[in-house]
Each structure stands twice: as structure tokens, then as C-alpha cells.
Amino acid sequence: MAFDSSGGYVAASNLQDASETAPPIFTVERVELRFGTSSEFLAAEVANNVLILALSTNRILRIDLDSPTDIDDIDLPKKASEIGVIRRMFLDPSASHLIITTTLSENYYLHTQSRQPKTLSRLKGVSIESIAWNPSRPTASTREILVGASDGNVYETYIDPSTEFYRREEKYFKSVHRADGAVTGLWADLIPNRSDARRVLVATPGKLFHFVGKIGRHGHEGSGSIFAALFESESPTVHELATQAATGTSCLAVSPDPTEGAHADSAGIERTFAWLSSQGVFHGPLLTSSDLSRLGNKLYSESRMLPRAQIPATHTAGGRLRHTQDPVTSMILSQWHIIQLVEGRVVATNRLDDTIVYDQMVLEAGQSAVGLAADLTKNTYWLFTAQEIFEIAVRDEDRDVWKIMLKNQQFDAASRHAKTSAQKDAVATASGDFLVSKGQFLEAANVYGRSTKPFEQVALTFIDHGEQDALRRYLLTKLSTLKKSSVMQRIMVATWLIEIYMSKLNSLDDTITTRAELSDMNATDSQMQLAAIRKEYQGFVTKYKSDLDRKTTYEIISSHGREEELLYYATVIEDYNYVLAYWIQRERWAESLTVLNKQTNPDTFYKYSSVLMAAVPIELVEIMMRQTNLDARKLIPALLNYNKNVKGPLTKNQAVRYLLFEINQHNSTDAAVHNTLISIYASHPSKDESALLSYLQAQSYAQVQYYDADFALRLCIQHARVQSCVHIYSSMSQYSRAVDLALKHNAIDLASSVADRSETPPVLRKKLWLAVAKKVIRDTDGIKGAIEFLKRCDLLRIEDLIPFFPDFVLIDDFKDEICAALESYSSSIDELKQEMDASADTAAHIKRDIKALDQRYAIVEPGERCYVCRLPLLARQFFVFPCQHAFHSDCLGRSVVEMAGQSRGRRIRELQAEVSRLGNKGKERERVIRELDSLVAGACEMAVDQVDEPFVKVSDNTAEWAL
């Protein structure tokens, strides 16, 4: 790719050999910059898609690769003759901070939001070779950073950009360590879960130092060094070259951030480092183990050297290899490869197996290179020369990683990086074969289950080795990978697993029994294993119940005699009828009730209620009373069967208890429920019928009757429940039968209570009382009993009872009562005469008042005014009322029309129009006038109707009412 004159991309030339059929991982593309200048590039840096170029004229170009037209051209504040030319630049990963060093050891700082480099006065004279940026990647300031110098010193500084002229950018500058050579590389990072710890790598041409430990703390940020405590208190782990060449490039590189869309586990993969020395590239993972004391040794032990000699030499013009090794001038890391610049060639080596995947001559003879650069945040890689820029494009870099890891028997890592199903299957198959060869059958089972290796081969492998546990795990894994559409395969595998589980459980039971007999202490281990297998079986049937054939599964488990597992399976598939039948057949009532208590299906209760009601009635009723969807009618056979065999009082009868609950709590209106309760009450051997009578009375009080009265009456008559019969007769308004039945059983008080009902008509009441009186006179000792009975009733008189007395009774026995009756009649006659006289007097008074009405009059004083218009009343026809109100006839008519209702007002207007129409027509006109007068002047309602009228009306002059 390239930039045109406007800063946009133009077509690029591909320097990769096009003859290869497979797409290469790396290609180098030239980026042509056309800025109208012949200046050479002295240094270059790339970070976060920002390109920084240092020109030989001491100018700096800052280019945003996301928007190539945005190019900043920045000059250093002094001439090259004063400060030297730019030697190196250091750009932080966020592209926010740039440090520039010159050949005369002058150092400058440039922030991304500034166009003017600031002099770092405290760093004057320091020839910077490397910088370790703060691992938190701040953007406002650099925070604490480490600076490596050519004299071997490592400095710590804190740069905070400021707009104040006299304020220094560096808050402090302190030497924290000294190495025995130029510090060619620095790296600092965090330790996970250890906010107070840091790791620092320091590279020199001959040694690589690894520091790790706690850092210092200060009162506020930027107040002082934090790395000094680390370097002073910790001893480094050192990797030193055995022999060191006099010349050779040395640098330190780390791998970029994980790319977007990388594997889900990429976040947990450590970065890698690479140290370029005269002997080659020493590289390995940047481990982040929490054991800080051994971290350095572990890091070096897992790292290895890529020798310089492994890079092939350059061919000469005659096709012969050069005898001297080509020097490496620069080195960077990609995600999986080490990229080196070797005498104009770009060589990419896979860091997992040291194979060279790319070796391409890029530079022409005599063309000098500035170096390689990597954008750690955007995963782009660049090559800079004095005149040109090349981008090293990477495509599908990790496509062969899984093969290398598989070859190195790193199966978990290979599985994570395998992309296609075929790749994952190859990894799984190879991993499983390897584990089997090592005798790790359980681990192999998990891997084989995710592979496509033939099912029968894997199964026979485990069977031949007697590994039933591994076979069980393999089948479980295989079942989880089978498609839902593979119904038969899933059923067969699941059924086989049931057989294996049952065999394993029986085997463990036998082992426990044998060891218990031998007093073996290892029996506890077997019991723990038994519990674990049982729990695993329960989880299996819960998860895969839909893949199990019910009948086959029952047969398999039953054949092994596994009662607990059988019931658990039935419970999981919600075959509660099977579970209940199982426990009921064995008369295990507690277990039966436990199962029933968890049910909500009404049919289950209907099916087993009879047997459970006979065995555990109290507990069953408790459970049924907690259900809301039972039809009590369908439970009646069980309740009646229970009632037939139960003995004891009604208060302890569970059938009665449940029926009352349905009636009182669920408000049952089913006649069958009510009739069943009456049947149990009536047929009980006890003579006490208070419970039955209370129920019947409650029904009467509620003014509803849900039971069959004829059915209840027959039962009560059959079982001689007299009070209840009388109550039912009364509720049916058959009072005569009620009284007759009560008298038949000599229940005088009961018969009297029926006869004394207030809602009974007086004639019927008297008839009923006479019947009771007749019974009393016949059954008592003559007159005395009759007289006592007479005092209880207000409807009967002594003369009503005389026909019932025997013929030989003497009048002297009840002479006083007869005299009292006669005196009562005489008193009643006198009262009637007085009422008649009073009525005659009232009639005479009414006649006199009617005659007086014709002689009424009213006096109208001179000057009397109309109550409405306030004009003289005598000016025209008027009306005067007894209340002294006087109105003109027309004024009164208008007022009445306004205040009258709609219909009355309309009628008045109609009559007024009819009077005008009739003129002087005699009788007809008089009739209309009389009706009109009756409507208009029938009564004076003016004062009452105007109570809510305001004193000051809208039409009045309000000034006249002002105070």
C-alpha cells in the first residue's frame, strides 16, 4: 500500500513470490510516501495506528493511519548544529507520549495533543537506548517509566506535560539501577492480583536481568520513585551468554496484544519476550506465576535459544552461500513468530518449532535499513529504510499452530487453536491414543468422546482393558455429542449406561459387604465411591430421561434389584403411579404419603384414596386438605368405605372432617358432598344428633340448601333423628307434619317451637297451637295442665280449649279463666266505642273547616306593590296569598315559568296561548283559566324557591350596594 500526494492509499506491489499456491502467512508491501521532500528517515515508530517519522532535517512527521490526510509536521526547537540530529525515538503503546533523543544526547518530549516538543532538562546528556513504559498505559501523563541509557544506568522519571513555560515536564529523575553495559532493552509489567508488585526485564548486549518484587509507595502520585525499592531489595535472575561477540545488535521485544476475534482463551495466554543477542534470539513466555521467588528461574527454564546459525546465509551472485553469517540488524515479535531483519532480508521464524516460514529479500544492495517496528495494540508490523516504508502484512498467522502443538503433544493447547471440526477431531483422536498408551483411560475417554474415532473401536479398547469406568465416561461424553435427531443411537447408548451404572453399584455394594466382614478400613472409601456413583446416576437419568425407554429401563434396574435407583428413575419421569403402587404393595405408608404429598394430579388421589384412607386416614386427609384441584365427589366412595369400618365419635371421623372442610373452606355446592355428610351423621350409632342438627341449621341460616331434602328426610326418619326431621319439615314449610311428628314422639317443646314461628301465618299458627294443646290436654292431668299451657301462647283463649275438655269436667275448675276472658271482651268493647266517638268528632270538625273556606279574605293596603316588579299592585289584575305575598298575574306567570320545571313551564305557556286564542268564548275559556290559575297561583312558592338567589344580581348596579 502507499500514500499518494493527498495522503490517501494507492496500489501497492506485492514482494512475495507469487508462484506459491498456498497463501503465505507473511507478505511485504511497499508504502510509498510522496511528500515532495528528499529527506531521509533517521528513525521511525508505530503505535495505536499512529506513525512517527524522524527526518534528516530534524523534522518529525506524525501520521494517523486511520485518517492518512491528517499529517502533523513538527520541528525540534533548536538547530541540528546545536543539539545534533535525531538518533532514536520512543513511542508508548497508546501513541500519547513520544521521547526523542539526539546524537548529542539532547532529549525532548512530545505529547499527542501538542505540536511543540519540550526539552527534558533533567535528562540532558543521557543517551537513551530503551524505555519501559508504564504498564497501565496512561494518556494524560507517562506516570512512572524506566529509561535505559548507553552508559548502563537505568533511570526512573515521571513526565507530566504542562503549558507553563518555566515548569519542568519531569516531576523527578532518579537513577535506580546500573548494569554492566548499555541498556538495550527494558520492559515492565504487572503481576496479576498483586497491585504492589512489578516485574522488570533489563537487557544488555551480554546479559538479561529479571527483577520481580514489591514497589515503593508515596503520599501522592509522582512524588517520588517507586522502582527504587524494587531494585534495591531484590536480586535479579540473570541469563548470561557463554561467549559474547565483539559486535552485534542487542534489543528486547515483546509480543503484541491479543487480536480481536482471537480464541476465547487468548486472554489467559502469557505474552512472550525475545532478547536478540550476538548468539541468536532467546525467547519464551512472560510467566505471571504468583510465586515471585521462583518466577525468574521458571521463566528462563521455559525459554530457549533460536541460534543465529539456524538462519540460512545469503546466496552470492554465483549461487554459492556466503561463508560468514549475515548480521541481524533488528528484531520484533508477532503473535507466533520472530521477525528478523537479516542483511536486507525479512526472515520470520515460528517460535514454537523454530521453522522458517518466510525468508524474502526486501532491500536492494547498498540500501540501509532503519529497523523493524511493531504496533503492539493494532498488530501491525513495519520495516523502515532511509527512503522507504514497508508493511509486513500477516494473514491467518495461527493456522498451523495446532499442528505444532499436536506434534509436541500439547493436546489441550492444540484443541484450543484448532479451528475446523476436522482439526479438532484430529487433535482429539491423537490425544486419546496417546492417553491410552500411557494408561490414562479416564482422560482418554473424555477425549475420545469428542472425536470421530469409530465407536466400536473405542468401546472394545476399554472393554479389553477392563476399564468399565472409562467406558462409562466415554459413553456419557458420546451421548452429549450425539444429535437429537439420532434417536436410536441415543436410546442405545443411554440404555447401555443404565446397565453399566447398575453393575457398578452392585459391585460397590459387594465390595463394601466383603470388606465389612473382613473389618477392612478401606470400606469407607468404597462407601464414598458408592455415594458418588449414585449421585452421578441420578444426574444422568435426570438429564437424559427423554433418551431412555421406560419399559426397558424398568426391566434393567429391576433385574439388578436396585430398589432406590428404580424409584428414583420413576420419580424423575414423573411415573408416580408406579412409585405409589410400589410402596403401597409393600405397605410402606410413610413412603407412600411422602410421594403423594408431592403430587398435584387429582387422578392419583382418586386411584389410591380408598386404600390409604383405610390405612392412614389422618395423614391422607391432611394432604388432601392442602390440594386445591380435587373433586370431592370422586373421593366419596373412599370416604364411605372408611366410614363403614371406622368406630368412634364423629369428632374423630376423618371422612366427616374432610367433608366439612370442603363445605366450609372450599364452599362446595355439590349435593353429593352434602348428602354424604348427612348420611354419615344420620347413620352414626350415637343417639346424639346435635352435629347433624347444627349442620342443618347452618344451611338454614345461610338461606341456601345444597342437600337433597327428601333424601335427608328419609335418612332421618329411618334412623329416628326426630329433631332433624322436624327441622327438615319446617325448612320445607310443612309445619303441620313437623308438629305431628314431634307430638308423635311426645316432643311437646319441639312441637311448640315449630308452632311458635313468627313467619307462620296467624291462622296456621293457631291451628298448630290447637294441635299441641289437644296433645297437652290429653296427656296431662286435666285442667291444670291446660291452663299452664294457655299461658305460653298468645293466640289461644280458654274458649278455644273448651272443646278438648272431657264431658265430665266442671266449670268451677276454670271459672277464673272464663271470668278473665269475659272481662277482657268487655274492655275491648269499651275501647272500640271510644274510638268510634272520636272518629265522629273528627268528621264534624272537617265539615266546619270546609264551610269556613268560602268566607276567607285578604286586606290589600293602599300603595301595596307587586313582589316581582315593585309597581303598584292595584294597577292591574293581581293575586294575594295567605302568606301576604302579592303579585301581578302576568308577573307571577313569568316567575313561575322561570322557576318551574321544564314540563310545568311548557304547560303554562300552552295554557296562556290557548286563553289568548279563545278570546271571550265562555265555558271553555273559564276552564282553561281555572287550570292556569291552579298552576300559577296554586300556592306561594316564591320565597322558598328564591332562597338560593343572590341579593345582588348581574343586571343590578353594583355601585348602589357599595358600603
* Percent of the chain as helix, strand, coil, to the nearest 5: 45, 20, 35
Residue 260: other Cβ atoms inside 10 A: 7
Cα-Cα-Cα-Cα dihedral sign, residues 448, 453, 459, 462? negative
Measure the CA–CA gap between 681 and 673, rounded to whole angstroms. Answer: 13
Measure the CA–CA gap between 78 and 116, rounded to whole angstroms. Answer: 11
- Burial call 737-766: b when 16+ CB within 10 Å, e when fewer: bbbbbbbeeebbebbbebbbeeebeeeebb
Q: At what angle do helices 654-664 and 617-625 cross, to 10 degrees?
A: 10
Nine-digit cell at 708?
337433597
89 three-state secondary structure: strand
95 in Cβ contact with 48 (< 8 Å): yes
476 in Cβ contact with 497 (< 8 Å): yes
Q: What is the per-residue pLDDT for 783?
A: 55
Q: What is the 8-class DSSP label of residue 460?
A: H
Cα-Cα-Cα-Cα dihedral sign, residues 264, 269, 275, 279? negative
The 8 Å CB, 24+ separation contacts for 945-952 are 945/899, 946/899
Strands 304-307 and 328-333, by their bridges, are: unpaired
Q: What is the per-residue pLDDT for 810?
A: 46
Closest CA to 278 of 201, 348, 331: 331
- Which residues contact residue 166 at a Cβ distance below 8 angstroms, ignoring those fewer than 6 apart? none
Measure the CA–CA gap between 56 and 918, rounded to whole angstroms. Answer: 129
Looking at the DSSP bridge assignments, the partners of residue 240 are 207
How confident is the model over 807-855, as pLDDT tens digits? 445 455 555 555 555 566 566 677 778 788 788 888 888 777 777 766 7
Nine-digit cell at 765?
299458627
Question: H or E segment at 120?
Answer: none
435 in Cβ contact with 441 (< 8 Å): yes
Question: H or E segment at 770?
Answer: helix 762-779
Below-50 pLDDT ranges, the chain: 1-20, 263-268, 758, 799-800, 802, 807-808, 810
Q: What is the per-residue pLDDT for 405?
A: 78
How confident is the model over 399-458, as pLDDT tens digits? 888 888 777 777 777 778 777 778 787 777 777 777 788 888 888 888 888 788 888 888
User: Measuring CA to CA, how many Å separate 433 from each of 416, 426, 438, 447, 453?
Assistant: 18, 11, 9, 9, 10
Task: Write a three-state SS string for 248-288.
Answer: CCCEEEECCCCCCCCCHHHHHCCCEEEEECCCEEEEEECCC
**Straight-line distance from the first to the last Cα atom of the chain, in angstroms, rounded to the nearest whole number:** 101
Looking at the DSSP bridge assignments, the partners of residue 52 are 45, 62
370 in Cβ contact with 44 (< 8 Å): yes
875 in Cβ contact with 862 (< 8 Å): no
29 in Cβ contact with 390 (< 8 Å): yes
Q: What is the per-residue pLDDT for 150?
A: 94
CA 585 from centroid of its chain's CA atoms: 44
210 in Cβ contact with 201 (< 8 Å): yes
State the Rg of the chain over Cα. Answer: 58
> Could you identify the residue written with the cell 498505559?
137
Measure the CA–CA gap between 694 and 681, rounded to whole angstroms. Answer: 11
Q: What is the 8-class DSSP label of residue 926?
A: H
Looking at the DSSP bridge assignments, the partners of residue 178 are 153
Measure the CA–CA gap between 391 and 378, rounded to whole angstroms. Answer: 13
Q: What is the per-residue pLDDT for 202?
A: 96
Q: What is the per-residue pLDDT for 520?
A: 54
Domain spans, the chain: 1-36+241-313+324-397, 400-461+477-481, 488-573, 577-630, 811-856, 873-961
How confident is the model over 65-93, as pLDDT tens digits? 888 777 888 999 989 889 999 999 999 99
Task: Write a three-state SS string for 75-140.
Answer: ECCCCHHHHCCEEEEEECCCCCEEEEEECCCCEEEEECCCCCCEECHHHCCCCEEEEECCCCCCCC
